[in-house]
Amino acid sequence: MKVNEQIAIDHGLKKEEFNKICDLLKRIPNLTELGIFSAMWNEHCSYKSSSIHLKKLYTKGKKVIQGPGENAGVIDIEDDDAIVFKIESHNHPSFIEPYQGAATGVGGIMRDVFTMGARPIANLNSIHFGSPQHPKTKNLLRGVVKGIGGYGNCMGIPTIGGQTSFDDSYNGNILVNAMTLGLVNKNKIFYSKAAGINKPVIYVGSKTGRDGIHGASMASAIFDDQIEEKKPTVQVGDPFTEKLLLEACLELMAGKSIISIQDMGAAGLTSSSIEMASKGNLGIELNLNKVPCREEKMTPYEIMLSESQERMLIVLENGKEEEAKNIFDKWNLDFAIIGKTTDTKKIELFFDNNKVAEIPIDILAENAPVYDRKWKKTKLPQKIKFKKDDFKKLKITEVLKKILSLPNISSKEWIWQQYDHTVMGDTIQKPGSDSGVVRVHGTNKAIATSVDSSATYCYSHPLTGGKQVVCESWRNLISCGSEPMAITNCLNFGNPEKERNMGEFVECVEGISEASKFLDYPVVSGNVSFYNETKDKGIKPTPAIGGVGLIKDYKKMITMDLKKSKNLILVVGKTEGHLDQSIFAINILNEKKGPPPEINLFNEKNNGKTILKLIREGLVNSAHDVSLGGIVTAISKMAIKGKKGFKLNKLKVLINKFDYYFGEDQGRYIIEIEPNNLKKVEKILKDNSVHYDDVGLVTENDIVIDKEPILHIDDLIKSNKSWLEDYMDK
């Protein structure tokens, strides 16, 4: 088939991009070459719309060993230990085929982590679905949860945290973001940069089939009515093979034979081979007849574009082939020498003794198109003047029960009970907490991690929203007593060719950058997912932030469950009563306008550091950050976890009690302390100029708020737990 402009357009390339390819090559590419260009130049692999903005992210810091640009980011956690971590999206495939889409998302991110020599120690996920009433939502949720569990459980890696939300804007585009953390010795990290000429290029893992061809291109386009036809672009996962691949790779990595290693993820053999050569400033030559294939008569085009899972490409030291082969034989995995590194700085492909492709590497990598797309700034919405008379007929306890049972607030136990969260025997804080926590095996250290996003705030004002997500992540890590270290971000947005969507991206990134710099909480890895749009309707901007924190002595970790009756409850941080964009305003008052709560980075940092100080002094019995639903929702969640009640004092502040209890001002925490520690706690808070309110105390079972009828904690537990169970199983 002779390539022409139309074929290029069918491959997702723009007319100008095709002309650029012809100019750079000084000829028309053949079909295999065109396939390679389409795989490398799509949005998913090339970051062509996002790269100029991503450069603004704060990516450095004392603890950063490896920032963005590798398979995953790496941070130093002392004693030669390092944590490798990254989050990645698998949105488009999960909407087409929820089980396999989600499963291979989890498989892909784990490979990114163990490619660097790290043993995965924890998985998390951030998943977002359409309205619960939408006919597709239930099946998508069921399939995604089964897929995430199916892969992670079989691998034997605990899934220790996550986030689930429902919103109309995801009706036609669900989000599935998977995150993995791994542990590695910092002197034994493996990178993708190839080095040396005439080194053998090794293919290991599963055989190559015809699945997932054009997966990366599919993930770089919007959806239309023909979505069912895209099913063949979804990869099929086999977690058992990946478990073998993990063990085999780690066994090989224990020796000294690997020069570089890269997993075959998006755009499979194409992007892995080109990336290795490009980083090493080398050429690469592959004999495609040597690639282990699952199906007969696969063409070079198919072999290069297949996204079959559980495969790795390795550049070995000369003479180490036999040693490496023995290891992969032991684990029953395919092993093939498929080529070598060269000094030509070209990728050259051979098939049936013919050269079937020849492209200079720099054309594919450095000359990939970069777009400075037009974007529109979002103005800060006007503050809403709430009619306080509307509140008077409401009862706090009734509102509270309603909030606790909302889809976005209710307990997600139905989901995380399907994930093995205790395998590896080091999970000391389970899902359903502020952060999941796993011990660093055999040490006193532990790693806290959480994943957050706030699409409502980001949609209302992207710049504030971007800052807010970073701060919320920071707070979640602080709440369990960990020192926040670094983040990974998964930037889920609509169509970058639309000014509003591009603007949301640019301003969210700006917000993330500003907050992470101020908090010294650098971004070390991430992924961009654009084109989350179906028939002209895009998602709300949803940057998901995965945070990682270090606890030096895991015995000092704090949990959020209320511990003991008569203990005092303090709100740390100032409450102004910001109701716009709050759960209360949106769900109880049905008011969806107004600005999100303001972020004061100075207070955020100061409050967080002071909470850490209190925890380290041993003065805090439980802690939780205040987020959606405000103070009373936060205290209720602590009560539900601890199966205790609470009694709120009469308000000493001048603002309306609904503003106070349901406002979503930022930078706040709830802490439980022993009465005899109050003086010490007050001193530390005052010395650090941190505002606090003494709001109430822990009780055995009763929830006492003003003169309203007393509730039993079981009422709150029921309100919080039953929504998702009833929705899914009844």
- Kindly state whether residue 198 participates in binding another protein, applying the rule CB under 8 A: no
Among 78, 168, 240, 689, binds another protein (CB under 8 A): 240
641/721 Cα distance (integer angstroms): 11
Q: Which is nearer to another protein, 121 or 544 (CB)?
A: 121
Q: Which stretch binds another protein (CB under 8 A): 285-293, 424-432, 622-630, 645-653?
A: 424-432
Among 423, 601, 710, 717, binds another protein (CB under 8 A): 423
205/390 Cα distance (integer angstroms): 63
419/209 Cα distance (integer angstroms): 29
- Kindly state whether residue 555 participates in binding another protein, applying the rule CB under 8 A: yes
- Kindly state whether residue 123 participates in binding another protein, applying the rule CB under 8 A: no
Query: For residue 84, what are the contacts with CB-CB under 8 A and spacing of at least 6?
Result: 72, 73, 74, 113, 116, 117, 118, 181, 182, 183, 184, 189
- Kindly state whether residue 418 participates in binding another protein, applying the rule CB under 8 A: yes
Return the closest-CA partner of residue 264 out of 232, 242, 279.
Answer: 242
Q: Which is nearer to another protein, 150 or 663 (CB)?
A: 150
Q: Which is nearer to another protein, 143 or 494 (CB)?
A: 143
Phi and psi torsions of 601, nearest 5°: -65, -30
Query: Is the Cα dihedral 346, 41, 39, 512 positive or negative?
Result: positive
420/164 Cα distance (integer angstroms): 17
Among 424, 471, 639, 724, binds another protein (CB under 8 A): 424
Q: Which is nearer to another protein, 4 or 417 (CB)?
A: 417
Among 49, 169, 427, 622, binds another protein (CB under 8 A): 427
DSSP string, 564-602: -TT-EEEEES------TTSHIIIIIS----SPPPP--HH
Q: Which two tokens stand for residue 308?
A: 């079959």
- Kindly state whether residue 239 participates in binding another protein, applying the rule CB under 8 A: yes
One character per residue 325-364, x = contact with another protein (rule: CB under 8 A) = ------xx--------------------------------
- Kindly state whether residue 322 participates in binding another protein, applying the rule CB under 8 A: no
- Kindly state whether residue 153 participates in binding another protein, applying the rule CB under 8 A: yes
134 is catalytic: no
CA distances from 384 to 581, 585, 586, 593, 600 (A): 10, 10, 12, 7, 20
The CB-of-450 to another protein minimum distance in angstroms stands at 19
Q: Which is nearer to another protein, 459 or 554 (CB)?
A: 554
Residues in the interface with another protein (CB under 8 A) total 32
Q: Which is nearer to another protein, 428 or 569 (CB)?
A: 428
Q: Which is nearer to another protein, 430 or 537 (CB)?
A: 430
Return the closest-CA partner of residue 458 out of 347, 545, 329.
Answer: 545
Q: How many CB atoms lie within 10 A of CB 723?
A: 20
The CB-of-727 to another protein minimum distance in angstroms stands at 14
Among 84, 106, 141, 155, binds another protein (CB under 8 A): 155
- With H, G, I as helix, E, B as strand and everything else as coil, classify residue 488: strand
The CB-of-156 to another protein minimum distance in angstroms stands at 3
Q: Which two tokens stand for residue 69?
A: 């640009």
Strand 523-529 versus strand 483-492 pairing type: parallel
Name residues contacting another protein, limited to 455-494 (CB under 8 A).
none
Torsion of CA 51, 55, 58, 64, to 10 degrees: 80
- Kindly state whether residue 156 participates in binding another protein, applying the rule CB under 8 A: yes
Phi and psi torsions of 126, nearest 5°: -125, 115
Contact in structure between 199 and 340 (CB atoms under 8 Å): yes
> Which residue among the candidates 44, 128, 214, 461 is catalytic per the annotation?
44
- Kindly state whether residue 238 participates in binding another protein, applying the rule CB under 8 A: yes
Q: Which stretch binds another protein (CB under 8 A): 149-157, 165-173, 293-301, 312-320?
A: 149-157
Strand 542-551 versus strand 446-452 pairing type: antiparallel
Q: Which is nearer to another protein, 439 or 461 (CB)?
A: 439
The CB-of-428 to another protein minimum distance in angstroms stands at 5
235/430 Cα distance (integer angstroms): 30
- Kindly state whether residue 61 participates in binding another protein, applying the rule CB under 8 A: no
- Kindly state whether residue 236 participates in binding another protein, applying the rule CB under 8 A: no
The CB-of-621 to another protein minimum distance in angstroms stands at 17
The CB-of-425 to another protein minimum distance in angstroms stands at 4
Q: Which two tokens stand for residue 677?
A: 């520690």
Helix axes 137-155, 98-114, angle to 10 degrees: 30
Q: Which is nearer to another protein, 358 or 413 (CB)?
A: 413
The CB-of-518 to another protein minimum distance in angstroms stands at 34
> Which residue among the candidates 90, 128, 214, 578 is catalytic per the annotation?
90
Residue 625's H or E segment, with its range, is: strand 622-625
Name residues contacting another protein, limited to 698-727 (CB under 8 A).
none
**Active site (catalytic) residues:** 44, 90
Q: Which residues bind another protein (CB under 8 A)?
A: 146, 149-150, 153-156, 238-241, 243-244, 331-332, 416-425, 427-428, 430, 439, 554-555, 729
